[in-house]
Structure 1
């Protein structure tokens, strides 16, 4: 998979001169990969983040400022951007199936089944904050809605976001707290950090222990991801990304609304404690989609410039093998922070953690460019495609699929 549903041969053709919209989508996906890494790496760096409390060893004003900026700018926005692209690419797959006169349903179901298995393995072995399992299940919902009208999909997306926001607001006004005992949360964070510093057995046991809490988090994250799927579905049906120039006025309206409203909500979200506080979380749920949309609108317009096209050429290979890179990020973080590798969990300040994320991403950009120059698919994309199509596709560039 790309965390999209459209297998690229499309992506490979784009690099040799086919429509720039294909590589624009790949480049957007690559940007989302970076933002996701910057957010997720905190959960590898110590065991406190999953307990919704800061590491007391790294709680200076500078550490707090770094965490605040990440919460404001990236938390909840990165995976929404990814989810939007998933929904958009779903429409590309439907169009491709229609052109070839084949039924997309069996193939898509197999793909989601394979994605679900990969997600379970990812959650247990590498990162309990996995999103692939949720994508696999929600992808089946999207499949069931494949024939709905654009207006219906748009209303459903808005109602999902508004509904989650309303429920969270009710919980907040009722005095519900997500961290009911800060001292107990700090103690749990210390135990989790020590578990991360252990070997593979300790790491797996900690991941399994945290899975129920992550399932609870998906009660909010899941509906928002489905909402973003539907927004992407609407954009795909409207061919929004096939003609960026023709939709420039719409994209600018998205920026004019998305930045002021989205940033205002992001400030409330971050200042209110991020995902640890229901009031802040409510503001984040209701405004993060607008800020994510503004980011996408800005990037798409930038990609049309001469400088932007050069940036796209650098980013697109990483976006084409986004599943491999998403799983690779987790593997590299495990090797850096846990006892399986360097064992740096709890020992690195937030700013240094961000620099490590950027370094990992730069390595992935270089590896992706080298890999995609030789092969049609990323390694995990190739395996998932083989399962989906029930055959071994040709891997090397220039070979028939």
Structure 2
């Protein structure tokens, strides 16, 4: 399913990466919490030099890229977009595996720990610890991600050494920001009754994820609205939020009348 998604819907697929790492996680499903936490720490330490190497490699390669590297086929017909995906999918996946894989596996391990320790119950030990660490997480996450955002958006061009330092620091800044997001979501759910369609979407995330790619193609490629390369950063942010909300709402409506999203029965039917 991940390969099909990467080739026919969205080159930057995560399903295959999640499936591979999930297979390793499955072997540790009965491990005690302390062992899972220790393993997560080791993978996190490993992620930092991996991020350094990948940042150096990306910086080296990007400096040598010709101006026409960013292929206009992404904004073309479906067959043009498809040809681009076929040519670049494997290299995109390999980059994701090396660049994101270690941190993703850390997140998987901590997620399993959360399930084993009832993290989402009121005043659980995990929530108490997260609340205690909020100031330190904010002081870590906000400056790193702000600098990274300014750099990647082209609003600020630091010297090469600082570019490498910022890219490597995201190995720490990204998980810290995710932890802040997580605590914000927990507070939101505890204090407000969210609409039922949000919960239905949350129970059918595979369909939501794939539909986002489909809607994105219809918005940006030539076989849709043809907005590829036409929007600024603020407009792209707004478009991404609209696409995400639209996919959630559509899948939720489907699940309301048919029980599950369109892809979840297929996934759960595999024995």
TM-score, scaled relative to structure 2: 0.86
Change (3 A) 1:162 1:342: same
1:201 aligns with 2:87: no
| Pairing partner for 1:362 from 228, 245, 248 | 245
Report the Cα offset of residue 377 of structure 1: 1.1
Preserved contact between residue 265 and residue 287 of structure 1 (Cα < 8 Å): yes
Q: Which has the higher contact order (CA 8 A, sep 6+)?
A: 1
Preserved contact between residue 118 and residue 124 of structure 2 (Cα < 8 Å): no
In the other structure, the counterpart of 1:266 is: 145
Find the aligned partners of 1:382 and 1:254 in 2 and give their Cα distance.
39
1:339 aligns with 2:208: no
In the other structure, the counterpart of 1:16 is: none
Where structure 1 has 5 or more consecutive residues not aligned to the other structure, the ranges are 1-117, 389-401
In the other structure, the counterpart of 2:184 is: 298
Preserved contact between residue 325 and residue 364 of structure 1 (Cα < 8 Å): yes
Find the aligned partners of 1:320 and 1:162 in 2 and give their Cα distance.
32
Where structure 2 has 5 or more consecutive residues not aligned to the other structure, the ranges are 154-159
Find the aligned partners of 1:127 and 1:200 in 2 and give their Cα distance.
12
Encode CA deviations 1:109-138: one digit per residue, 9 max, x unaligned: xxxxxxxxx110110011110000001111
In the other structure, the counterpart of 2:18 is: 135
In the comparison of the two structures, how many residue pairs are matched? 261
Note the 1:44-123 alignment, pairs <5 A: 118-123=1-6
In the other structure, the counterpart of 1:7 is: none
TM-score, scaled relative to structure 1: 0.60
Preserved contact between residue 153 and residue 231 of structure 1 (Cα < 8 Å): yes
Note the 1:252-401 alignment, pairs <5 A: 252-273=131-152, 277-305=163-191, 308-309=192-193, 311=194, 313-388=196-271
Report the Cα offset of residue 303 of structure 1: 1.1
Q: Secondary structure at the match of 2:258?
A: coil
Report the Cα offset of residue 273 of structure 1: 4.0
| Pairing partner for 2:116 from 224, 231, 237 | 237
Find the aligned partners of 1:171 and 1:355 in 2 and give their Cα distance.
30
Encode CA deviations 1:168-210: one digit per residue, 9 max, x unaligned: 44677xx655244546343201xx1x21232222111101221
Q: Secondary structure at the match of 1:347?
A: coil
Change (3 A) 1:332 1:176: closer
